[in-house]
Structure 1
Amino acid sequence: MRERRAADLEGAAAALVRVYASDGYPVEGVDDPRAWLRPADLLHAWVAELDGEIVGHAVLTAPADSADAVRIWREQAPDERVAVLGRLFVLPEARGYALGERLARAAMEVAEARGLRLVLDVVDKDVAAIRLYERLGWQRIGTADHRFGDGQSITAYCYVAPLPAGSA
Structure 2
Amino acid sequence: MIVRARTLEDLPACATALRAVHDVDGYPTYWPQDAARWLTPAGYAAAWVAFDEDGTALGHVCVVQGLDDPVAAAAAGVPVQRLAGVSRLFVAPAARGRGLSLGTALLAEVEDWSRQRGLQLMLDVVDDGAPAVQLYERLGWRLVDRRDADWVTPQGQRHQVRIYLAPDEEVRGRA
CA distance in 2, matches of 1:156, 1:62: 19
Give the match for residue 139 of structure 1: 142
- Contact 1:47-1:55 within 8 A present in 2 as well: yes
TM-score, structure 1 as length reference: 0.88
Determine whether 1:120 maps to 2:119.
Answer: no
In structure 2, stretches of 5+ residues that fail to align are none
Q: Report 1:14-163 matches (<5 A).
A: 14-51=16-53, 52-65=55-68, 70-76=69-75, 77-79=77-79, 81-95=82-96, 96-125=99-128, 127-146=130-149, 147-148=151-152, 151-163=156-168
Amino-acid identity (%): 38
CA distance in 1, matches of 2:28, 2:107: 17
Size of the aligned set, in residue pairs, is 162
Greater strand share, 1 or 2? 1
Q: Which runs of 4+ in 1 moved over 6 A?
A: none
When the two chains are superposed, the root-mean-square deviation of aligned CA atoms in Å is 1.8
CA distance in 2, matches of 1:110, 1:13: 23
Any idea what SS the aligned residue of 2:67 has? coil
Deviations 1:78-110 (A, max 9, x none): 436110011100111102310111000110111
Give the match for residue 10 of structure 1: 12
In structure 1, stretches of 5+ residues that fail to align are none
- Contact 1:83-1:118 within 8 A present in 2 as well: yes
Any idea what SS the aligned residue of 1:109 has? helix
- Contact 1:45-1:59 within 8 A present in 2 as well: yes
Deviations 1:7-53 (A, max 9, x none): 00001011111100001112233332112101131111000011211
